[in-house]
Amino acid sequence: MDTINYGMLSQTMTEIRKVDQINPDPAIIARAASVIRNGGTVVFPTETVYGLGADATNDSSVMKIYRAKGRPPDNPLIVHFSSLDMMREYVHVPPDLERFARNIWPGPVTFILESTSKISIVARASLPTAGSRMPANPVALALIESAGVPISAPSANISTRPSIVSSAEAIEELDGKVDMILDAGETFFGMESTVLRQVEGGYEILRPGAVGVEDLEPLLGRIFVSAAARAAESVDKPITPGMKYRHYSPGKTLYRIEDKGAFISYVEEQLPGDMGIICSDEVASSIGLHCITLGTEKDLYEIAKNLFPAFRRLDSGSYKSGIIHGFPESGIGLAIMNRIRKASIPIH
């Protein structure tokens, strides 16, 4: 794909409207939908993270997403639909996916599907496919339905920065860069959707997310985990967000020691005084030092929800750098470790 000329991103007067995440005001949704239809950008909550949305059928509208985020043009966007019927109009939904789609959607699972020409080539980064899903959030579904078009929406953060899981973070980072922000508080999962593609013999996870292998296999059959999903390798031409190495990163250098015992030993014996510690409640209790805590290891969903806010706390603190330990890669733990590895540098 040709490079995008970002030019100068002019300051935008951002309209900020509070909205109830469960019972959104139809008038506010209608206003946001009109912004989308008229080629504008809207930040809105999904069940995973906040998205920065635009009309997925309009090249110039989608271009505004890339400009606001400073996002590389070869990194495709996920397209959000309000119903399976809408999805069928824009992408090819294979018969086997039709059979179990209603058990997965609405929900935090994205499938790489063959696209029609109706989806913007900019949103697809010139690929023949489009990552497609139906978000399980009343605000998101109402917005898409009211707009009457699918909405392309990556996470609502500046490119490579930690994803945004609360409206306060969205306002801080994107006020003046987008047309409208729907202020709805915190998202539920705080971790992006799981992205899969169909392969011979089953499905392959390209980006782990809020739904783990153990939950998907009873529905889809055999699930393969790609090297990119474990953050063991990067790709030059991603077919979905999150496949390049540097991603989700705090502004300050973050180091990692995956083995928890080795992490505790390092912190107790070698930790520089200006390094922030990001860890579980259990590790914080063990080392007895001031830490940025993620929650209990007994609830990896809590760890996942607190991960990106912890990265932002590292940036806002007086630390010069940070360090984090690893977590089991079962369930949502696979997604947690994907994000940690992409955001950090290993200490061997």
**For 127-141, what is the HEC assignment?**
CCEEEEECCCCHHHH
In this structure, are 27 and 148 located in the same domain?
yes
CA distance linking residue 33 with residue 29, whole number of Å: 6
End position of a domain, from candidates 139, 157, 183: 183
At 103-150, the pLDDT tens digits run 999 999 999 999 999 999 999 999 999 999 999 999 999 999 999 999
The whole domain housing 301 covers 253-346
In this structure, are 19 and 136 located in the same domain?
yes
Whether the pLDDT of residue 9 is over 60: the answer is no
Beta strands, E only, the chain: 15-18, 42-45, 50-55, 78-80, 109-114, 129-133, 151-152, 180-183, 194-199, 202-207, 223-225, 253-257, 275-279, 292-293, 321-325, 345-346
Assess if residue 336 is contained within a domain: yes
Count of residues making up the chain? 348
Identify whether the C-beta of residue 130 lies closer than 8 Å to the C-beta of residue 119: yes
In this structure, are 177 and 86 located in the same domain?
yes
Assess if residue 219 is contained within a domain: no
CATH of the domain at 136: 3.90.870.10
In this structure, are 171 and 274 located in the same domain?
no
CA distance linking residue 289 with residue 300, whole number of Å: 22
End position of a domain, from candidates 159, 183, 207: 183
Query: Partners of 345 in the beta sheet?
Result: 255
In this structure, are 177 and 62 located in the same domain?
yes
In this structure, are 25 and 174 located in the same domain?
yes
Whether the pLDDT of residue 3 is over 90: the answer is no
* Strand 15-18 with 180-183, pairing: parallel
In this structure, are 59 and 171 located in the same domain?
yes
Q: Classify 244 as helix, strand or coil.
A: coil
CATH of the domain at 320: 3.40.50.11030
CA distance linking residue 281 with residue 298, whole number of Å: 10
pLDDT confidence tier of residue 48, bands split at 50, 70 and 90: very high
In this structure, are 176 and 260 located in the same domain?
no
Cis peptide before 106 (omega within 30 of 0): yes
In this structure, are 32 and 173 located in the same domain?
yes
Assess if residue 44 is contained within a domain: yes
- Confidence at residue 5, expressed as pLDDT on a 0 to 100 scale: 44
Whether the pLDDT of residue 61 is over 80: the answer is yes
In this structure, are 175 and 33 located in the same domain?
yes
Q: Classify 259 as helix, strand or coil.
A: coil
Of 81, 89, 231, which is closest to residue 153 (Cα–Cα)?
Answer: 81
Whether the pLDDT of residue 6 is over 80: the answer is no
Assess if residue 271 is contained within a domain: yes
127 torsion bin: left (phi>0), alpha (psi -120 to 50), beta (else): beta
Mean of all residue pLDDT scores within the chain: 92
Whether the pLDDT of residue 235 is over 80: the answer is no
Identify whether the C-beta of residue 169 lies closer than 8 Å to the C-beta of residue 145: no
- Confidence at residue 169, expressed as pLDDT on a 0 to 100 scale: 95
Count of structural domains within the chain: 2
Q: Which residues 6+ apart lie within 8 Å of 313 measured at CB?
A: 292
In this structure, are 21 and 116 located in the same domain?
yes
* Residue % of the chain over a pLDDT of 70: 92
Assess if residue 165 is contained within a domain: yes
Sign for the CA dihedral angle at 14, 15, 21, 27 comes to negative
End position of a domain, from candidates 168, 183, 198: 183
Assess if residue 231 is contained within a domain: no
Helix (H), strand (E) counts: the chain: 11, 16
Assess if residue 224 is contained within a domain: no
Assess if residue 1 is contained within a domain: no
